[in-house]
Amino acid sequence: MSSRTVIRNGLVITASDEIHADVLIEDGRVVALAATGTPAAESWTAEKTIDATGKYVIPGGVDAHTHMELPFGGTFASDTFETGTRAAAWGGTITIVDFAVQSVGRSLREGLDAWNAKADGNCAIDYAFHMIVSDVNQETLKEMDLLVQEGVTSFKQFMAYPGVFYSDDGQILRAMQRSAENGGLIMMHAENGIAIDVLVEQALARGETDPRFHGEVRKALLEAEATHRAIKLAQVAGAPLYVVHVSAQEAVAEIARARDEGLNVFGETCPQYLFLSTDNLAEPDFEGSKYVCSTPLRPKEHQAALWRGLRTNDLQVVSTDHCPFCFVGQKELGRGDFSKIPNGLPGVENRMDLLHQAVVDGHISRRRWIEIACATPARMFGLYPKKGTIAPGADADIVIYDPHAEQVMSVETHHMNVDYSAYEGKRVTGQVETVLSRGEPVITEREFTGRAGHGVYTPRSTCQYLL
């Protein structure tokens, strides 16, 4: 038995087009688009009609960087797959790619199985996994090949966090050489963690313990140096490279230079680097701890380079790096020692709205909004055109977005399982009204109508964004 829904009278926006069109959905997929008012569109009959007059009809957001339940610094990120994917849906994100973690001394498989078990049956929206590789050895390298074949086609490595996730240059080069052969994409946390640890020790010895010193020791130059080194290692290996959570203008410059040379080097930034700064890290009474993440927030002057990178396509993706820790009991672990503050910010619910505000503010066009938040992350990580666009054959992951609604971001109204908002009091124009995941209503006129377990694991193909 087929079930049909038609969305009428909206402005359909994809990365390439803006058209006044009706959208026909059947059995969870888009089957046709037709200009509103034309005989083709008028001829459609459906069990259900959604009127999108005055609204945008956009592809569901694809957040390619989240950490639900991540173990970090002796605690766990406070959103579970259930609460985090529900919050994502409220914010118009309908697919997440989370990070499964290999523990040192364990296999990739064990890590992936553990993350599958956490997510299975709990997600409100579809999900996929990248793999964090913490321990490169002969076995791990072989496992990478198998994972790529199974649909885990990207691997995160860390030049930061010695003793935890850290890989040295030799381990990085080996993983890159392997990915050059098997089609995987290396995602790099590019900060010189060995040098940062020296500066941390020296700062603490001077009695510099407040959250703002987190930003001072994790220097922009050490992000730029690591970014440069990662690019050169990838070039030696002949592998593509995706640099995650880029925050320093000097790192953007490294990526831009590599791209001008024609290399397959890509950059992601996050809303916190576009909208927040070291001013937040310096907030008194330990409030600055709410803004501790790595790479760190930078002085405001860096934001112009990030916006420019997004406009020139030197940066291609905006993900959240959603990794929430409550202020009470979690961020507080670092009172008296900033290096013990768990790293990460909440944001999975805020990304689509903040980037729409960037459209309102004139930083990017509406199509670029969809490109950096939906289409390119889907292409980059092998989910396109199932995810990231509205086209015949695509999953009916669709957001009805009210571009005129006014909202104030706040912990009082958000749905993330965390006791503060990084954007408390921020006024933005635009709000999600209705969300369909594979045609099923997850949010209906600002009420949650989804369920844990609707979301399914989604295997991915290899990167579809190579030059």
- Candidates 11-19, 108-116, 166-174, 310-318: pick the segment binding Zn ion (CB under 5 A): 310-318
Name which of Zn ion, ligand URP, none residue 343 binds, using a CB cut-off of 5 to 8 Å depending on partner kind: ligand URP
CB of 161 to Zn ion, least distance (A): 8
Does 371 engage in binding with ligand URP (CB under 6 A)?
no
Distance CA 162, CA 257 (A): 28
Does 122 engage in binding with ligand URP (CB under 6 A)?
no
Task: Return the residue nearest ligand URP (CB atom).
Answer: 343
CB of 299 to ligand URP, least distance (A): 18
Distance CA 187, CA 22 (A): 38
CB of 189 to ligand URP, least distance (A): 5
Size of the residue set binding ligand URP (CB under 6 A)? 9
Distance CA 62, CA 378 (A): 7
Name which of Zn ion, ligand URP, none residue 95 binds, using a CB cut-off of 5 to 8 Å depending on partner kind: none
CB of 420 to ligand URP, least distance (A): 15
Among 189, 212, 387, 460, binds ligand URP (CB under 6 A): 189
Query: For the window 284-303, what string marks contact with ligand URP as x by the rule CB under 6 A?
Result: ---------xx---------
Does 323 engage in binding with ligand URP (CB under 6 A)?
yes
Distance CA 220, CA 248 (A): 5
Does 130 engage in binding with ligand URP (CB under 6 A)?
no
Name which of Zn ion, ligand URP, none residue 256 binds, using a CB cut-off of 5 to 8 Å depending on partner kind: Zn ion
Does 67 engage in binding with ligand URP (CB under 6 A)?
yes
- Candidates 27-35, 212-220, 252-260, 402-410: pick the segment binding Zn ion (CB under 5 A): 252-260
CB of 342 to Zn ion, least distance (A): 12
CB within 8 Å of 208: residues ≥ 6 apart = 216, 338
Query: For the window 245-264, what string marks contact with ligand URP as x by the rule CB under 6 A?
Result: x-------------------
Among 78, 343, 350, 421, binds ligand URP (CB under 6 A): 343
Of the two residues 85 and 343, which places its CB atom closer to ligand URP in the complex? 343
Neighbours of 425 (CB within 10 A): 8
Of the two residues 67 and 460, which places its CB atom closer to ligand URP in the complex? 67
Crossing angle, helix 249-260 and helix 220-237, to 10 degrees?
20
Does 321 engage in binding with ligand URP (CB under 6 A)?
yes
Residues that bind Zn ion (CB under 5 A): 189, 256, 260, 314, 321
Residues that bind ligand URP (CB under 6 A): 67, 189, 245, 293-294, 321, 323, 343-344
